[in-house]
Structure 1
């Protein structure tokens, strides 16, 4: 049985990598950005990467350099060390998923993207999924899981069968992806939706008019989208998508 997506994910807009604004000391995926989103009543989208000691860390990139005062792959650094590496634009280190779950504590819906660890959307996955499942054990509150990698979503179906899951989907233009054209072509058609027991997709906003998206919606799938950066883009996306993941402005709350 496919777990249903909590209706909370279709109400408040989802703050992309939490409500981040480095000009206000709130880097992407930081505790400060998490708290700001909660204070505004937004849902939250975060990313998880794996530490050297197999802990789920809330961080978007594979490498530290863009977002933190460190260098090298996140996966090469233990969780304790990552916690002491300050995020650029803030005064705090990289948080663990456990720490973020303690902050959110069910107050708002939390959408967790599991970053591809295979490097090619393949089968070389497992430790990050296991770490994410371990952190979520006993968590009370609306939470959903998603990944670009269908194998990751299938693994979460085994590890957390009661939690709703979805696929992050895209036009997969080969010019924008470090993947073979054949892989892009296969993933573009969203062939794994039923196989992984998904209840939603989060689709690239510029590609929402794709017929496959319409077909999934007609079959009962929930359609979210990424990433919206203006009220005008949000209005356009909402012609198809039921909710948006946004950044760079304050999305309107439901009345």
Structure 2
């Protein structure tokens, strides 16, 4: 039985990489951005990357330069080194998933994206998923897991069959993460949804009119979307999507 996406994920809007605003010293995926999202009552979307010692860190990019000013892949430093690497526009370093789970503690829904570890959406995955599942053991609160890489979602289904999981999807223009055309062509119509036991998708906001999205919606599959950047775009997206992942403005709470 595929675990359903908890209803909480269809209620409060979801803050993209938490409620970040670097002008207020709240960079993306930072502790300050997470605290701000909790205080505002928003759901939180975070990203996971792994370190050289296979720890799950809350960080978006493969290279650390944009977010820390120090170049080099996060996979080539240890968790302790990553924690000691200060984020730009913040007073602290890269958080571990364990820290973030302790902070959120079930107060708001937590949507966790696993960044592709294979490099081409293939099957070379496992260590990041394993450490995240370890950290999530006993976590009490609405949580859902997702990845662009369906093989990562399949690994999560194997490791934690009780946790709801979904696929992050998009138009797959060939420029996406420099993926080969053949991979883009395969993934574009979300062929792995049933194979990996997914219960939702989070789809690119500019591509919500895709027929496959309508087909899944007609099946009752919850449709989340990313990344909404204005109230006007949100209103348009909600014609299809059940909830939005937003940044750059304050999405209104329903009701």
TM category, shorter: over 0.9
SS class of match (1:197): coil
User: Post-superposition shift, 1:180?
Assistant: 1.1
Aligned equivalent of 1:161 = 161
SS class of match (2:145): strand
Using the alignment, how far apart are the partners of 1:175 and 1:115 within structure 2? 17
User: Post-superposition shift, 1:175?
Assistant: 3.1
Could you tell me whether the CA contact under 8 Å between 1:31 and 1:95 is conserved in 2? Answer: yes
Aligned equivalent of 2:220 = 220
Aligned equivalent of 1:208 = 208
Q: How many residues align?
A: 255
Using the alignment, how far apart are the partners of 1:45 and 1:150 within structure 2? 18
Aligned equivalent of 1:65 = 65
SS class of match (2:67): coil
Aligned equivalent of 1:92 = 92
Aligned equivalent of 1:36 = 36
User: Post-superposition shift, 1:220?
Assistant: 1.6
User: Post-superposition shift, 1:76?
Assistant: 0.4
The TM-score, its normalising length taken from structure 1, stands at: 0.99
Could you tell me whether the CA contact under 8 Å between 1:27 and 1:87 is conserved in 2? Answer: yes
Aligned equivalent of 1:127 = 127
SS class of match (1:99): helix
User: Post-superposition shift, 1:187?
Assistant: 0.2
User: Post-superposition shift, 1:190?
Assistant: 0.2
Quick check: 1:250 aligned with 2:229?
A: no
Give 1:38-187 correspondences, 5 Å limit. 38-187=38-187
User: Post-superposition shift, 1:182?
Assistant: 1.1
Using the alignment, how far apart are the partners of 1:214 and 1:230 within structure 2? 23
User: Post-superposition shift, 1:69?
Assistant: 3.2
User: Gapped runs of 5+ residues in structure 1?
Assistant: none
Deviation by residue 1:110-156 (Cα, 9 ceiling, x = unmatched): 00000000000000001001011011011000000000000000000
User: Gapped runs of 5+ residues in structure 2?
Assistant: none
Using the alignment, how far apart are the partners of 1:52 and 1:136 within structure 2? 20
Using the alignment, how far apart are the partners of 2:227 and 2:130 within structure 1? 27
Structure 1 runs (4+) greater than 2 angstroms displaced: none
The TM-score, its normalising length taken from structure 2, stands at: 0.99
SS class of match (1:95): coil
User: Post-superposition shift, 1:13?
Assistant: 0.3
Could you tell me whether the CA contact under 8 Å between 1:69 and 1:85 is conserved in 2? Answer: no
